[in-house]
Amino acid sequence: MKIPLSAPDITEAEIEAVVAVLRSSRLSLGPVTEQFEAQVAASVSVPHAIAVSSGTAGLHLCIRALDIGDGDEVIVPSFAFIAVANAIRYERAMPVFVDIDPVTLNIDPRRIEEAITPRTRAIMAVHTFGVPAEMSAILEIAARHGLVVIEDACEAIGAEYEGRKAGSIGHAGVFAFYPNKQITTGEGGVVVTRDEAFARRIRALRNQGRYETDDWFQHSELGYNYRISEIHCALGLAQMMRLEEILKKREGVACAYQERLSRCVDVVLPPGCLRDGRISWFVYVVRLARGLNRDAIMRGMTEAGIGCGRYFAPIHLQPGYAEWRKAEGLTVTVAEAQRTIALPFFNNLGSEAIEEVCGRLEELVVKSL
């Protein structure tokens, strides 16, 4: 692609940090992992952060550590990355899909209560595209029904809601650091929480079920190899040192798109800002006017060498979710997902590239009218 959909922002500082680990004698579960965890915990003002091999692993460990399993239900949006539902199914629990708000594309709190049953154990609140979900309403519903709230903040590090950082508001939060995220560890994630016992269990589960009091060949419970290497954490630590700089770069790219596309009446732009919070720009997703051929426009973008993506294809319509295919009450999810296009978006996307992306999009929209 001439203009890719995403690209990591790696500087000499990150390269030097990784090389320093390679020159050391410790490549796993060492001091750099601890420093990275401490930096993430401090950034969201929580006492505990546990680095893991991916955001998916973090979500799975949250479900496992809460003893959610056979016959239990977890409320979750279908308009999200599939990992959020897969993590529930790994423990043989059932994801219950709830519709989204048509503006923010986050789970609609008004739809949550009607989905609660005696089997409901938790609500998985996804901060879609880095826009914080309506956590006050979600927490109020959860408290009234005795439910746990897990934040899927995999797309939202640095986002804020009513003065609190995304990931720090529910019982636990999960961040992910795949190369298309705001910061990257290559592959990796972090679970954050205020609950000391919960954090201790997450640490054990990520390391084959070993607690800190166990020796290397003692395993107190069934666990997993969800560890992350010192190499990954060195990259992540160096990126965390630049987090605010990176978030501001991405805000600048989003603002440039907002200004350039504001006169294109057949393209619906994402919310540019929040009254009581901060967006952490993960991707820049626009929606086409109803009736336009989204797939044809995407093909035209690709033919021009411009990366784009279908963010998101509803989970309940995925082949692996045939059992959920006829889920009811997801009309907004289905309607909006058919209109979305993620445009190229990364830290160092320049103004000339933005102009080319927007110009090509406008040409294709006009042809589709």
Catalytic residues: 181
**What is the C-alpha separation between 149 and 288, in angstroms, rounded?**
33
> Which one, of 136, 118, 120, 180, lies nearest residue 154 by Cα?
180
Q: Are 192 and 172 in contact (CB under 8 A)?
A: yes
Q: Is 166 exposed, middle or buried (0-12, 13-18, 19+ CB in 10 A)?
A: buried
Please state the φ and ψ torsions of residue 307, each to the nearest 5 degrees. -70, 145
Distance of alpha carbon 38 from the chain centroid = 20
**What is the C-alpha separation between 285 and 257, in angstroms, rounded?**
10
> Which one, of 228, 211, 232, lies nearest residue 220 by Cα?
211
**What is the C-alpha separation between 313 and 340, in angstroms, rounded?**
9
Residue 155: strand, helix, or coil? coil
Distance of alpha carbon 191 from the chain centroid = 12
**What is the C-alpha separation between 131 and 103, in angstroms, rounded?**
11
Q: Are 357 and 344 in contact (CB under 8 A)?
A: yes
Q: Are 182 and 280 in contact (CB under 8 A)?
A: yes
**What is the C-alpha separation between 124 and 21, in angstroms, rounded?**
36
Query: Which strands, in side-by-side order, build the sheet including 340-343?
Result: 267-268, 284-288, 340-343
- Looking up tokens 């411009």 gives 306
Residue 205: strand, helix, or coil? helix
Reading the block at residue 146, the tokens are: 């005795």
